[in-house]
Amino acid sequence: MTADAAEAWQQWHERRIETVSAPHGPLSLVGTHRIEFPRVAAPDAEGRTMPAGARELRQDT
């Protein structure tokens, strides 16, 4: 890589970091909403079940 190419890449990289880190850039926080998984009744299973891959975040009271 030549010095000109390395310098051009460095400038591009710095601009890219600024762009993606901007307040409305792709890395900005969209929301802090908790995703609730619906409880699903399974006719042949005891109790309640949740979709595959879901994990219990809190206990029902």
pLDDT in tens, the chain (61 residues): 788 999 999 999 999 999 998 988 888 877 777 777 676 666 666 666 666 666 665 555 4
Instruction: Name, in order, each residue with C-beta under 8 angstroms of 56's C-beta and a sequence gap of 6 or more.
Output: 50
**pTM more than 0.75:** no
Question: What is the model's pLDDT at position 30?
Answer: 74
Separation in Å, CA 49 to CA 2, 37, 41, 61:
60, 10, 6, 17
Tell me the per-residue pLDDT of 39-54, one tens digit each, with 9 for 90 and over: 666 666 666 666 666 6
Question: What is the model's pLDDT at position 26?
Answer: 84
What is the 3-class SS of 1-61, one letter each residue? CCHHHHHHHHHHHHHHHHHHHCCCCCCCCCCCCCCCCCCECCCCCCCCECCCCCCCCCCCC
